[in-house]
Structure 1
Amino acid sequence: MHDLMTESRTNAAEFTVSEISNALKRTVEDAFGNVRVRGEISGYRGPHSSGHAYFCLKDDRARLDAVVWKSAMARLKFRPEEGMEVIATGRLTTYPGKSNYQIVIENLEPAGAGALMALLEERKRRLAAEGIFDAGRKQRLPFMPRVIGVITSPTGAVIRDIVHRIKDRFPLHVIVWPVRVQGDTCAAEVTAAVSGFSALPVDGAIPRPDLIIVARGGGSLEDLWGFNDEALARAVAASKLPVISAVGHETDWTLVDLAADVRAPTPTGAAEIAVPVRDELAARLANVAARLRGCTSRAIERKRTSLRAAARALPSPDQLLALPRRRFDEATSRLGRGLEVNTHRKRARLSAARLSPATLSRRIAEARRHLDRDLARITAAFRGSVREKRSSFSRCAARVSVERIERRNGVARQTLTAFADRQDRAMFSRLERARGRLGNADRLLTTLKLSHEAILERGYALVMDREGSVIKQAAAIAVGDMLSLRFADGEAQAVATSGEAAGAKRTKPQEKKVAAAGQGSLF
């Protein structure tokens, strides 16, 4: 019985792990080759470095791993976000390495326009609270730009419409920054283009635009979803260059339209807003020039009429010059006669003024009379001044009496005596204070035994020469010098029997002995 049971067990087919995994993979892929799954995105962190995206789809009871390959990510009409409810179209497959299954997504779409609109409204409300859409921060467009930067797809009809419209209205330099206007990378490329135009140098190799046009054709909400990106709206609002938004048709509104400085209903309308019509400007300029010429002509005619009226009121040049001309003729006729008369007068005066001894004597006599007269006047004036000064001195002498002078001298003498007494007292007081300080210093010197008498009491002697000067060095003593030795109890005279030459090196054997004994030297 036991052998039969063992035989029955061995009759079952054996599979390897890989065979089971591959069989399950074929079964799942055959049964679920094309499915649509509705769920909420969970764990989305953006595309991997390889370009693939890995996340989960979940509902309230289960979750399903999902993967979007790089080729499919480029075809998506909007960027997936965490928590977004979507409908994923793809196929189920298994991953043998972990024994789990997943959905390979080929297409991804929101689970209804309501969800996208709710997300869009939430972004719009958040950006509006930050002031991104405020009208006060929007820039004015240049009236006549020289360079226009266009951010759009280089292969669509939008760029052709914009370039054609600009060429018809006012031909100028147009720079196109090619971007994708749909798909997962749309927002990032447009954001980089807006920032790139703003970062161009003014005098660089690529001319910097005076304004930017962000354009795209019409489409559904999903098609335009890349222009509802928050980063793109912030880049447009922070652009240093004015931005015209022309995304979609007139009824389509995106966050870029709200953040831009000007919103155009269509790409063609953006071109019309960006540049004026050259023919209209030329016509307006011609009209203004014609008006200016007419105004100038009328003004000149009015001035000419006023000048003519003023000229009629003025007399003719002959009338104005008649009287001066007559005076000039009369002066001319009198000029010759006047010159002759003047010449005769000068000649007569010169003849009368010729120098002669009589003339010199007469002039010297006249000068002497003038001098005597001036001397008499000076003498009289001097005598009068002396009399006046003498009279003034007499009046002053009368006012100053001897008694008054003696009284003043007495007062001065008393004041001087008082000052002398004060000086004597001050000097006596000062001498007393100095005598007191000297006595205190002497007592202090005696108390501390610092005086030379105290040093002499200890057995030292003071050596002096005949003039009474203290000798401090043996080099200062010569043979035969008279020396005076002062001791504590008196003085004694001595004669030097030996000595050193002046300037010799000083030696102090006695001081070394005293220092060795612990005693100091005064000198």
Structure 2
Amino acid sequence: MTPADTSLPGVAPSSAPRHNLPEVSVSELSQALKRTVEDAFGRVRVRGEISQPKVAGSGHCYLRLKDDAAVLDGVIWRGTMAKLSLRPEEGLEVIATGRLTTYPGRSSYQIIVESLELAGEGALLKLLEERKRRLAAEGLFGAERKRALPFLPRVVGVVTSPTGAVIRDILHRLNDRFPCHVLVWPVRVQGEGAADEIAAAIAGFNALDPGGAVPRPDVLIVARGGGSLDDLMAFNEEVVVRAAAASVVPLVSAVGHETDTTLIDFAADLRAPTPTGAAEMVVPVRLDLLTRVGDDGRRLLGAMARLLEDRAAYLTGLARGLPDLARRVEELTQRLDDRAQRLALAWPTLLERQRAAVDRLAARLRSPRELVAMRAGELGHLGRALDGAARRAVDDRARALDHLAARLRPAPLRQEAERRAADLARLSGALDAAGARRLNDAGARLDGAAKLLESYSFHKVLARGFVLVRDRAETPVTTAAATAAGQAVTLQFADGRVAATVAGAASDPPPPRSAPAPRRPARKPGKSGKPGGDRRQGDLLDGL
């Protein structure tokens, strides 16, 4: 073991070499580097492309600036982030102003960004084109979102700077064309915070109550004078474009001169070339309206006068074609009188014609007695034919039996034949008697039915002195209440008809006579053995 090996750990041997450079710690070296970098680069402007921008939960933004050969880390503190007019975006070429420092925890250096600006107008146009394409893809610039401006707004809202010449030009033009109520929402139109103020003004106008103390405008004008692209950047911000697209009130964009174009122009319902042009678009010319109303009124009066003249001439022409009303009434009255007279004469003629037809039909009808006699003759003929046929049949059978008996030799058979012949003769006699009785009974019933039918006929009633009363329609009148004074009726007697007229109204029936009515003799018993014969319908004329 050498002497060096026997030395204690951490104790340098007496023979170790000594250095002239002092020893420093890592922290001391990192702090020395930090002071050196911050003193040498206390204020720098770095141009590069933003890469990997990220906003932490604390509100700080971390990003990287790069070019084709190097990369520089950067950080934007939360307070500075709120003041920037340009938001860090991926691929955006900018000029960052700030100071360099180191981060000892990772042995790296970085820039503390205090402000950002686009690196030239070409980069700014590229940014605007990219933003325009993205917002158009969301549908914020669609033609279907555009609304027509009201023809005559009562309240006009203006979002602009209150100190510039723009508001004076707008007020002057509105007063010349058509004076109306104007509400101005003062905002900054460029610089930091201008975009937020413009968006808040648009949303504020839309939040007003239409019937409140401060009425909501019928149309909005967002206006600014001309300027460079950087001066008009507030109207290219996404927050302003979205506020204009979300506006319920129709919005007119009047930013810059006629050649200037901003993104709010695409989101607005109408773009005006200048603020003065916007004032001309939102209101018509009052004198032109008065002139137009006067012209329309004169044209309306002239058209109405011509229409009345045409209608009067047309009515006069129609009146010429009308006949004399008095003469027409006289002709119709005469025709009515003639028809009434003919109708009065035609009615009795029609009744007589119908009465004659009824009489002819009645003459063609056969009386019940004739019908009964005819049916009785037919029945007698049939009975005689039946008796003859029965006798011939009995005679034929008797002859056949006699012939058969003559041919039979034995006595018992002859006796049996004689007995059968006697039975046959007896049965033939009984058959003849039964047929005669049946014919007599049928004839008696037929005679009774004929007499009953004849007794039911109203002609028998008329023959006893009664009268059948009929009205003009040949309907029998059965009650006094069915008649009226002056009514024409027909009285039918047993020997003919007589026309009559009812003299007065129906009166109460006369009181009954004191003497009792004579009692009718009792009827003879009929063939059925009961008094009065068949009484099922025998009471029809009992009270006559």
How far 1:88 sits from its partner (Å)? 1.4
1:84 matched residue in structure 2 = 92
- 2:120 is the alignment partner of 1:112: yes
1:218 matched residue in structure 2 = 226
How far 1:42 sits from its partner (Å)? 2.7
2:39 matched residue in structure 1 = 30
Matches within 5 A, 1:347-426: 387=367, 391=371
2:72 matched residue in structure 1 = 63
Q: CA RMSD in A?
A: 5.1
**Alignment counterpart, residue 228 of structure 1, candidates 236, 244, 268:** 236
Cα distance change of structure 1 residues 53 and 388 upon mapping to structure 2, 3 Å threshold: farther
Cα distance change of structure 1 residues 195 and 48 upon mapping to structure 2, 3 Å threshold: farther
- 2:289 is the alignment partner of 1:281: yes
- 2:271 is the alignment partner of 1:268: no
2:184 matched residue in structure 1 = 176
2:261 matched residue in structure 1 = 253
- 2:252·2:270 contact (CA, 8 Å) conserved in 1? yes
- 1:149·1:175 contact (CA, 8 Å) conserved in 2? yes
- 2:161·2:187 contact (CA, 8 Å) conserved in 1? yes
How far 1:143 sits from its partner (Å)? 1.0
Secondary structure class of the residue paired with 1:208: coil
2:166 matched residue in structure 1 = 158
- 2:219 is the alignment partner of 1:239: no
1:103 matched residue in structure 2 = 111
1:350 matched residue in structure 2 = none
Letter in 1 for 2:98: G
Letter in 1 for 2:263: L
Q: Distance in 2 between matches of 1:385 and 1:270?
A: 112
- 1:41·1:83 contact (CA, 8 Å) conserved in 2? yes
1:122 matched residue in structure 2 = 130
- 1:77·1:222 contact (CA, 8 Å) conserved in 2? no
* Residue identity (%): 53
- 1:78·1:223 contact (CA, 8 Å) conserved in 2? no
Q: Distance in 2 between matches of 1:242 and 1:251?
A: 23
- 1:37·1:87 contact (CA, 8 Å) conserved in 2? yes
Deviation string, structure 1 residues 227-286 (Cα, Å, up to 9, x no partner): 334454344334333221112221111222122221111222212211123343334444
Cα distance change of structure 1 residues 163 and 78 upon mapping to structure 2, 3 Å threshold: farther
Matches within 5 A, 1:129-168: 129=137, 131-168=139-176
Q: Distance in 2 between matches of 1:179 and 1:83?
A: 32
- 1:77·1:223 contact (CA, 8 Å) conserved in 2? no
Letter in 2 for 1:27: T
Q: Distance in 2 between matches of 1:388 and 1:140?
A: 104
1:484 matched residue in structure 2 = none
Deviation string, structure 1 residues 111-156 (Cα, Å, up to 9, x no partner): 2222222232333344445554343442111111112232334454
Deviation string, structure 1 residues 384-443 (Cα, Å, up to 9, x no partner): 8672797599689979x989xxxxxxxxxxxxxxxxxxxxxxxxxxxxxxxxxxxxxxxx
- 1:79·1:183 contact (CA, 8 Å) conserved in 2? no
Q: Distance in 2 between matches of 1:84 and 1:266?
A: 31
Secondary structure class of the residue paired with 1:257: helix
How far 1:84 sits from its partner (Å)? 0.7
TM-score normalized by the length of structure 2: 0.49
1:485 matched residue in structure 2 = none
Q: Distance in 2 between matches of 1:214 and 1:111?
A: 29
How far 1:302 sits from its partner (Å)? 7.0
- 2:156·2:183 contact (CA, 8 Å) conserved in 1? yes
Letter in 2 for 1:252: D
Secondary structure class of the residue paired with 2:367: helix
Q: Gaps spanning 5+ residues in structure 2: where?
A: 1-11, 328-357, 384-544
Q: Distance in 2 between matches of 1:124 and 1:209?
A: 28
Cα distance change of structure 1 residues 167 and 48 upon mapping to structure 2, 3 Å threshold: farther
Q: Distance in 1 between matches of 2:376 and 2:33?
A: 152
Cα distance change of structure 1 residues 169 and 138 upon mapping to structure 2, 3 Å threshold: same
Letter in 2 for 1:209: P
Bigger proportion of residues as helix:
1
How far 1:37 sits from its partner (Å)? 0.5
Deviation string, structure 1 residues 26-68 (Cα, Å, up to 9, x no partner): 4333322332211122333469766x64433233432221325
How far 1:185 sits from its partner (Å)? 4.5
1:519 matched residue in structure 2 = none
- 1:257·1:263 contact (CA, 8 Å) conserved in 2? yes
Deviates more, 1:140-149 or 1:175-184: 175-184
Q: Gaps spanning 5+ residues in structure 1: where?
A: 315-319, 325-377, 404-523
Cα distance change of structure 1 residues 268 and 97 upon mapping to structure 2, 3 Å threshold: farther
Cα distance change of structure 1 residues 381 and 192 upon mapping to structure 2, 3 Å threshold: same
- 2:98·2:114 contact (CA, 8 Å) conserved in 1? yes
Secondary structure class of the residue paired with 1:175: strand
Q: Distance in 2 between matches of 1:84 and 1:234?
A: 22
1:40 matched residue in structure 2 = 49
- Work out which of the two has the higher radius of gyration on C-alpha atoms and give 1 or 2: 2
Letter in 2 for 1:262: L
Q: Distance in 1 between matches of 2:369 and 2:270?
A: 106
- 2:72·2:110 contact (CA, 8 Å) conserved in 1? no
- 2:96·2:113 contact (CA, 8 Å) conserved in 1? yes
Q: Distance in 1 between matches of 2:170 and 2:149?
A: 17
How far 1:15 sits from its partner (Å)? 8.1
Secondary structure class of the residue paired with 1:28: helix
How far 1:181 sits from its partner (Å)? 3.2
Matches within 5 A, 1:321-332: none
Q: Distance in 1 between matches of 2:281 and 2:206?
A: 20
Cα distance change of structure 1 residues 379 and 292 upon mapping to structure 2, 3 Å threshold: closer
How far 1:297 sits from its partner (Å)? 10
How far 1:193 sits from its partner (Å)? 4.1
How far 1:211 sits from its partner (Å)? 1.8
Q: Distance in 1 between matches of 2:160 and 2:28?
A: 50
Cα distance change of structure 1 residues 100 and 398 upon mapping to structure 2, 3 Å threshold: farther
Q: Distance in 2 between matches of 1:118 and 1:196?
A: 32
Letter in 1 for 2:170: I
Secondary structure class of the residue paired with 1:44: strand
- 1:245·1:260 contact (CA, 8 Å) conserved in 2? yes
Q: Distance in 2 between matches of 1:388 and 1:115?
A: 134
Q: Distance in 2 between matches of 1:396 and 1:160?
A: 135
- 2:202·2:247 contact (CA, 8 Å) conserved in 1? yes
Cα distance change of structure 1 residues 26 and 260 upon mapping to structure 2, 3 Å threshold: same
Q: Report how many residues are paired.
A: 335
